[in-house]
Amino acid sequence: MKRIGVLTSGGDAPGMNACIRAIVKAAAAYGIEVMGIYEGYKGLMEGKMNVLTCNYVDDIIELSGTILKSARSKLFRTEEGLKLAKEQADKNGIEGLIVIGGDGSFRGACDISRYGLPVIGIPGTIDNDIAGTDYSIGADTAVNIVTETLSRIHDTARSLIMDSPRVFLVEVMGRACGYIAMTASIVGGADYCLVPEIPYDIDEMCSHLKKKFDNGKMYSVVVVAEGATNVNDLKKQVDAALNIDARTCVLGHLQRGGSPTAFDRMIASQMALKAVELLVEGKTNQMVGVVAGKAVSCDISVGINDKNKISAEMVRLNNILIG
């Protein structure tokens, strides 16, 4: 194998650059050149790529986002698009492809593998919703950003005393997975957490908050994953139930920026090396992950079809700590 390609696809995540860097360095250790493909599958179809040298990627470890940029493409989902992509891969001597992204990106990798291009997926999404790995690249950085924000909200919440208790409703990312919400809620000391995977009852939440107010606490911070409910609808319900004027805060894309944490840089590097080695071994249609601290691999269908679940231990911990 002389040359492989790497692309980032779907929502960008902090740590993707650390991963690209490690892929280039790991490949170099095996005497393999890496083509950086720009703008995801769109760029692959358009032949937007160039060789990434170790020198070029040396300094990108702390940069957020992705130097290769990311994109979503409808054309790539058609046979015509896949053929175009394979033609470009052949034309540029790409013998294997590493795709950093989420489940949709992995699906694209599987599709192009049908045309004879070996593919390996690396989970990169702040949502941490991909099965087959304990963590996906970017999730730890996102959790740290939310934790820092909760701390800032606590600063003002505990300082300004009003006639009635104050409630802060903080919406965080996570369409189908409450990982960011629940982890940040536990480590950021929230008073309640709503996630899409666990049924909840707003009245029950409000009586929980009310109990805290009756015991003298003058504010509450509720973390809500975007997939659980709309924060504005939630505000209406909370305002009515507690007769207050709750404050809302939507963190949005703030959570996708910022220099990656040490942990994200480490797992990005571990997974990069594993992905390169899988291609060297002649493997295809695998995804890599980090489980119990070790780089592992499994069939890429796991990352496409299954979802990471919040562990029962985490739910229990959350339930005890919000009390």
Query: Which residues form the catalytic set?
Result: 127
What string of DSSP letters covers 2-50?
Answer: -EEEEEE-SS--TTHHHHHHHHHHHHHHTT-EEEEETTHHHHHHHT-EE
Asked if residue 223 binds ligand F6P (CB under 6 A), the reply is no
Q: What is the DSSP letter of 74?
A: S
Shortest reach from residue 138's CB to ligand F6P, in Å: 8
**Please, are residues 109 and 94 in contact by the beta-carbon 8 Å criterion?**
no
Asked if residue 175 binds ligand F6P (CB under 6 A), the reply is yes
Please identify, using beta-carbon distances, which residue of 96 and 196 lies nearer to ligand F6P: 196
Place of tokens 């990108």: 60
Please identify, using beta-carbon distances, which residue of 184 and 276 lies nearer to ligand F6P: 184
Please identify, using beta-carbon distances, which residue of 148 and 214 lies nearer to ligand F6P: 148
Please identify, using beta-carbon distances, which residue of 176 and 280 lies nearer to ligand F6P: 176
Shortest reach from residue 84's CB to ligand F6P, in Å: 24
Place of tokens 């250790």: 29
Considering only residues 31 to 90 of the shown chain, the ones binding ligand F6P according to CB under 6 A are none
What Å distances lie between residue 309 and 100, 182, 187, 196, 220, CA to CA? 21, 11, 18, 11, 27
The one among 5, 11, 36, 123 contacting ligand F6P by CB under 6 A: 11
What string of DSSP letters covers 94-132?
Answer: ---EEEEE-HHHHHHHHHHHTTT--EEEEEB-TT--BTT
Site mask for ligand F6P (CB under 6 A), range 100-139, x = bound: -------------------------xxx------------
What is the Cα–Cα distance from 265 to 162, expressed in whole angstroms? 43
Q: Point out which span in 61-69, 169-177, 290-298, 300-308 binds ligand F6P (CB under 6 A).
A: 169-177
The residue with its CB nearest to ligand F6P is: 11
Asked if residue 256 binds ligand F6P (CB under 6 A), the reply is yes
Place of tokens 């280039």: 24
For binding to ligand F6P (CB under 6 A), which residues are involved? 11, 125-127, 173-175, 226, 256
